[in-house]
């Protein structure tokens, strides 16, 4: 196991020491940490790498303290957009999903579902591996009044993340259908359905996706990385049976080895 910070000179070149040992009572024991005394104060100069990972799933901002590592990876999913819906017989768009961020890379949230169009998927910035979220589907109607059926569009999914919620189904003006919420992380909400006008509203777009891996030295041990988790978009038509589904929150995943 490498202990970042200790180097030895071998063949005229400085190389990082691996699996360092000290002889104690005739027995060789591996060193997990190393310190030096500077100005009367002991200071840590090396620390064993202990692989680990951490999820951030609740919307908000966080400070990630960089551990000892040989390799550090960050992945972010933007939040899903809310599905469209109907408020008092008036089509209403949802709300866009928020962005998520890991240091210098990030993913935008999906656009909201409208009437009847679906929202577009979120994009991204930075990263070595990335993908836009999927767009939500548009709502539509089938049949004719009074035997009109309305169908809300499905929400879009996020790459390697959550799927979009199903759209609602309305069988008559008195039986509207609500859209389902998207799955975490980053799934867009499904559109609500009503059996009048054009029949249904669109699903919200899925959040974008981005990932990057950093070698040791890009972020120093003990430094802080800003992490942001986006909130899922609220649906249109809140409080009515034809409301859309909520977009799922975004997420951030950090891992190191």
Contact 150, 178 (CB under 8 A): no
Q: Which of the four pLDDT bands, split at 50, 70 and 90, describes residue 8? A: low
Q: In sequence order, which residues have a C-beta less than 8 Å from that of residue 146 and are 6 or more positions away?
A: 172, 173
pTM to 2 decimals?
Answer: 0.85
- pLDDT at residue 247 above 70? yes
- pLDDT at residue 147 above 50? yes
Q: How far apart are CA 120 and CA 226, in angstroms?
A: 27
* Closest residue by Cα to residue 109 from 179, 59, 61: 59
Q: Looking at residue 17, what is its pLDDT? A: 59
Q: How far apart are CA 71 and CA 232, in angstroms?
A: 31
Q: Looking at residue 83, what is its pLDDT? A: 98
Q: Which of the four pLDDT bands, split at 50, 70 and 90, describes residue 210? A: very high
Task: Output the average pLDDT for the chain.
Answer: 90
* Closest residue by Cα to residue 74 from 51, 108, 106: 106
**What tens digit of pLDDT does each residue of 23-57 get?**
788 888 666 666 778 888 886 666 688 999 999 99
* Closest residue by Cα to residue 96 from 143, 156, 43, 33: 156
Contact 207, 108 (CB under 8 A): yes
More confident residue, 61 or 1: 61
Residue ranges covered by each domain of the chain: 2-47, 50-257
Contact 23, 231 (CB under 8 A): no
């Amino acid at each position: 196991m490498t202990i970042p910070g200790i180097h030895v000179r071998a063949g005229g070149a400085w190389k990082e020491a691996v699996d360092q040992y000290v002889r104690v009572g005739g027995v060789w024991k591996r060193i997990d940490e190393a310190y030096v005394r500077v100005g009367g104060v002991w200071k840590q100069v090396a620390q064993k790498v202990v692989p680990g990972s951490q999820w951030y799933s609740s919307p908000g901002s966080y400070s990630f303290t960089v551990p000892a590592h040989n390799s550090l990876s960050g992945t972010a999913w933007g939040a899903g957009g809310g599905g469209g819906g109907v408020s008092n017989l008036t089509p209403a768009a949802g709300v866009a999903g928020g962005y998520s961020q890991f240091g210098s890379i990030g993913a935008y949230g999906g656009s909201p579902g409208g009437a009847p169009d679906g929202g577009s998927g979120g994009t991204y910035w930075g990263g070595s591996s990335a993908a836009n979220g999927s767009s939500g589907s548009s709502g539509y109607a089938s049949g004719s009044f009074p035997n009109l059926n309305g169908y809300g569009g499905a929400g879009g999914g996020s790459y390697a993340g959550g799927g979009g919620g199903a759209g609602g189904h309305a069988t008559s003006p008195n039986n509207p259908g609500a859209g389902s919420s998207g799955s975490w992380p980053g799934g867009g909400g499904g559109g609500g359905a009503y059996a009048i006008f054009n029949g249904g509203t669109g699903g919200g777009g899925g959040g974008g996706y981005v990932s990057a891996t950093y070698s040791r030295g890009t972020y120093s041990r003990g430094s802080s990385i800003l992490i942001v988790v986006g909130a899922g978009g609220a649906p249109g038509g809140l409080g009515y049976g034809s409301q859309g589904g909520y977009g799922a929150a975004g997420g951030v995943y950090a891992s190191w080895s």
